[in-house]
Chain A
Amino acid sequence: MLIQSQKDGFVHPLASEITAPQVVADRRALLLQMATGVAGLSMASWASRQALAQSASAIEKPGKLATLLSTPSGVPGAMVIEKPTPYKDASSYNNFYEFGTDKADPAVNAHTLKTTPWTVEVEGLVKNPGKFALEDLLKLSPMEERIYRLRCVEGWSMVIPWVGYSLAQLIKRVAPLGSAKYVEFVTLADPKTMPYVGSRILDWPYTEALRLDEAMHPLTLLSFGMYGEILPKQNGAPVRLVVPWKYGFKSGKSIVKIRFTEKQPATAWNKAAANEYGFFSNVNPTVDHPRWSQATERRIGEDGLFAKKRKTLMFNGYEAQVGQLYAGMDLQKFF
């Protein structure tokens, strides 16, 4: 008999026992369709609008940066039907501490960031480690547009049309070894171009990490652009991560290294305050930050000055897609 102890860590179920996320999503979609069957006629125009959207993006380009062509994503949950946040707000209200702690700072200071040439090094427990030039990454897989909710741990949210592809595409290319359990993301820390690298707020470089199955989830996006254009520097140009069901800080900006490890890597905010920022940091309205409630959020650029804050959704509204990843886990403990 196989006796398991705490030391064995999280024991993954047999792959054959897990219902594929796609199957779960399809089931849910079917249920939803049946439930809304009565509303069928009134939904027809919406459905046809969706069909149209398959051919061209509905997002208006801000006309600030180079165009990055993409087609709307077919990944379940990737196209939220919510109004995108105005580009002006999404590109002027940022947390990117390498360029200052005030949310207006990055837009003012990030112009010094040098995004060409850019390489992302993949190392650690993979069959095919190596350096990827940005040009090669851009060609690695077709660009998709994905409209995601973004929930900051501070209690505000946005809706952003990103451009990129599932990180899984890159992971498959580098072929993780069986021993790889985690993926660490190292972001740029260049004191010459980033004026606040060296401030004592966090340990630099800013690093983040995911469990391998989280990193492989189709919603985990390697992003190169937003609003149909390449990423503004203050938003993490030229390449960043977007994990829509986790608090924003989990999605590292300006990534230079991706490392596959067996042990759970240390992550920036977790090192700074382990009691406040857990490794998982999934958006969860029932687990408060020790210093404030996470039950509600303010939608930037949409909710008026006097609007009541809106309710925060479990896994930021992506429970149908990602809930399975955390089945059986105590989310109060693994926050």
Chain B
Amino acid sequence: MHFLQKFLRLSSAKPLVLLFGLVPFAWLFWGAATDALGANPAEFLSRATGDWTLRFLCLTLAITPLRQFLGWPELARFRRMLGLLTYFYVLLHLLCYSWLDMGFDWADTVRDITKRPFIWLGFGAFVLLTLLAATSLNRAVRWLGSKRWQRLHQSVYVVAALSLLHFFWMRAGKNNFTEVWVYAAVIAVLLGWRVRRFFAKT
């Protein structure tokens, strides 16, 4: 058995992965506290939390394909935690926007989002992610029934699409799409895997 697989079976693996997932947060927090985030820390934090949301979304979406590809069932028990870490970073991202950018001024915020429709896409993804996070408990599966629960949680693909569009639109101002294509490629591969399996089964 692969040593990684052995690690994943340890009871301490989950808290360790969680700790690992909070490293970017700690790094950002420390950077903000010591003024080490460059000339425009507010912008840096908004962008970094957006980047980390996308990264954790990719990691979450990678769990199932990796589990199937490697034949490692141990991976499954990390999926919810990664999903919740994604939600944690998107919450921070939204907090950065509404606090650092808008100073919690709702009139300004309304004016701003009418100017910047790419924010709607991001906000749409956030609303969906909120539903998924709220129904992430085992109890929710029982309450909704596994069929309905699964269908609801398939909307994570919509979240991925909205997030990518949000990122693409934001970068359109400078025609600077390199990173957007990288995330798009990763997500395309992860979704492609599922589509292929779906058609292989039917």
Q: Which residues of A contact B (CB under 8 A)?
A: 88-89, 92-93, 101, 103-104, 156, 199-201, 288-293, 296, 298, 300-301, 305-309
Cross-chain contact A101 with B100 (CB below 8 angstroms): no
Nearest A residue (CB) for B178: A101
B34 CB, nearest partner CB in chain A, Å? 12
* Nearest-neighbor residue (CB-CB) of A273 within chain B: B173
In the complex the two chains form, is A306's CB within 8 Å of B115's CB?
Answer: no
Tell me the total A-B contact number using a CB cutoff of 8 A: 52
CA of A138 to CA of B176 in the docked complex: distance in angstroms?
Answer: 37
Q: Assess the B115–A156 pair: CB atoms within 8 A.
A: no
Q: Smallest distance from the beta carbon of B132 to chain A beta carbons, Å?
A: 30
- Chain A interface main SS type: loop
Contact B175 A201 (CB under 8 A): yes
- A101 & B176 in contact (Cβ 8 Å cutoff): yes
Interface centre among B39, B42, B115, B176 (most CB of A within 10 A): B39
Give the residue name and chain of the B residue nearest to A95 (CB). B174
Ranked 6 nearest A-B pairs via Cβ: A93-B39, A89-B39, A308-B103, A201-B175, A101-B176, A101-B174
Q: CB distance A306 to B173 under 8 Å?
A: no
Verify A305–B41 contact, CB threshold 8 A.
yes
Interface residues of B, Cβ cutoff 8 Å to A: 32, 38-43, 45, 99-101, 103, 105, 108, 111-112, 115-116, 173-176
A301 touches B39 (CB 8 A): yes
Among B32, B38, B105, contact of A305 (Cβ-Cβ < 8 Å): B32
A293 touches B115 (CB 8 A): yes
Contact between A201 and B39, CB atoms less than 8 A apart: no
Given the known interface contacts A298-B42, A305-B42, A306-B99, the answer about A201 and B174 at a Cβ–Cβ threshold of 8 Å is yes
With a cutoff of 8 Å between Cβ atoms, the chain A residues found around residue B101 in the complex are 309
Asked whether, in the complex, the Cβ of A308 is within 8 Å of the Cβ of B105, the reply is yes
Contact A306:B38 (CB < 8 A) given known A291-B115, A292-B115: no
B100 engages A306 (CB within 8 Å): yes
What is the distance, in angstroms, from B114's C-beta to the closest C-beta of chain A? 10
In the docked arrangement, what's the CA distance between A125 and B45, Å?
A: 49
Q: Are A201 and B38 touching (Cβ within 8 A)?
A: no
- Cβ of A101 to closest chain B Cβ, rounded Å: 5
CB < 8 Å neighbour of A288 from B43, B45, B115: B115
A291 touches B175 (CB 8 A): no
| Given A101-B176, A201-B174, A291 contacting B39 (CB threshold 8 A) | no
- Inter-chain contact A293/B112, CB cutoff 8 Å: yes
What B residues does A293 contact at CB under 8 A?
111-112, 115
Report the minimum CB–CB distance from A235 to chain B (whole Å).
13
- With A200-B175, A201-B174, A306-B100 in contact, do A93 and B38 touch (Cβ < 8 Å)? yes
Distance of A289 Cα from B115 Cα, bound (Å): 9
| CB-based contact A300/B115 at 8 Å | no
In Å, the complex CA distance between A65 and B116 comes to 41
Contacts of B40 in A (CB 8 A): 93, 103, 156, 298, 300
Q: List 12 A-B contacts (CB under 8 A).
A: A92-B38, A92-B39, A101-B174, A156-B43, A201-B176, A288-B115, A290-B115, A298-B42, A301-B39, A306-B99, A307-B103, A309-B101
Shortest CB distance A301–B (Å): 6
Contacts of B100 in A (CB 8 A): 305-306
| Beta-carbon nearest neighbor of B117 in chain A | A291
Taking the closest CB of chain A, its distance from the CB of B103, in whole angstroms, is 4
On whether the beta carbons of A104 and B38 are closer than 8 Å, the reply is yes
- Residues of B contacting A89 with CB < 8 Å? 38-39
- For the complex, give the distance between the alpha carbons of A104 and B37 in Å: 11
Contacts of B115 in A (CB 8 A): 288-293
Other than A288-B115, A300-B40, give 19 A-B pairs with Cβ distance below 8 A.
A88-B39, A92-B38, A93-B39, A103-B40, A104-B38, A200-B175, A289-B115, A290-B115, A291-B173, A292-B115, A292-B116, A293-B111, A298-B42, A301-B39, A305-B100, A306-B99, A306-B100, A306-B103, A308-B103
